């Protein structure tokens, strides 16, 4: 089985490598990654935009007789949350015909991070760097803001794994879908 992943992001690729080894239906597996454009903004600001970015990446990377995987993190509106938005990861798995989607757990970003994202059009890393939360210019390829806020109880790799595992539910149980 060949799996094509539409990113070169280290945290995302390590998540894919870890998850696929637990699935007999994907063995033997060969993972091929290439950066592909999401077709959405660098910092998606809605569930629709985040899903669209993941699906675009999966479809663009897909090759015959394999699975295309697209991963996109973004902010989604969540009524009742402190500042109205939560960050999550969307995984889209494309088999050439159908998409299977999965979501990670979500978390609220600090209010000032959201303000910079929405008012100054910064991405998550830029906002965190500007606020001094981190000085890592590669935050999204490392622990991510989720790793900083949870003191690494859940990091970018772990929440990406959650999204991929959820996307594989309908593939592993295809007889039910």
pLDDT in tens, 23-41: 999 989 999 999 999 999 9
Please state whether the predicted TM-score (pTM) of the whole model is above 0.85: yes
How far CA 107 is from CA of 26, 62, 93, 133, 146, in Å, comes to: 30, 30, 23, 16, 7
Is domain 2-107+155-176 classified as CATH 3.90.950.10?
yes
Rounded Cα gap, residues 31 and 60, in angstroms: 15
Sheet of 30-33, strands arranged across: 30-33, 2-5, 66-77, 85-94, 99-103
- DSSP conformation class of 110: P
Residues 84-96: tens digit of each pLDDT: 999 999 999 999 9
pLDDT given at position 99: 98
37-50 in b/e form (b: 16+ CB < 10 A) is ebebeebbbebebb
- Mean pLDDT over 54-63 rounds to 98
């Amino acid at each position: 089985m060949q799996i094509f992943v539409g990113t070169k992001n280290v945290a995302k690729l390590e998540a894919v490598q870890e998850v696929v080894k637990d699935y007999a239906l994907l063995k033997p597996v060969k993972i091929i990654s290439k950066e592909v454009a999401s077709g959405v903004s660098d910092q998606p600001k809605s569930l629709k935009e985040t899903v669209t970015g993941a699906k675009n990446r999966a479809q663009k990377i897909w090759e015959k007789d394999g699975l295309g995987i697209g991963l996109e993190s973004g902010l989604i509106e969540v009524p009742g949350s402190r500042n109205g938005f939560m960050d999550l990861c969307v995984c889209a798995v494309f088999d050439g015909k159908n998409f299977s989607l999965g979501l990670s757990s979500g978390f609220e970003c600090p209010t000032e991070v959201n303000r910079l994202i929405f008012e100054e059009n910064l991405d998550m890393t830029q906002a965190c760097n500007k606020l001094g939360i981190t000085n890592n210019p590669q935050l999204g390829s490392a622990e991510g803001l989720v790793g900083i806020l949870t003191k690494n109880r859940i990091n970018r790799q772990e929440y990406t794994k959650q999204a991929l595992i959820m996307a594989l539910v309908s593939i592993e149980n295809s007889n039910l879908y």
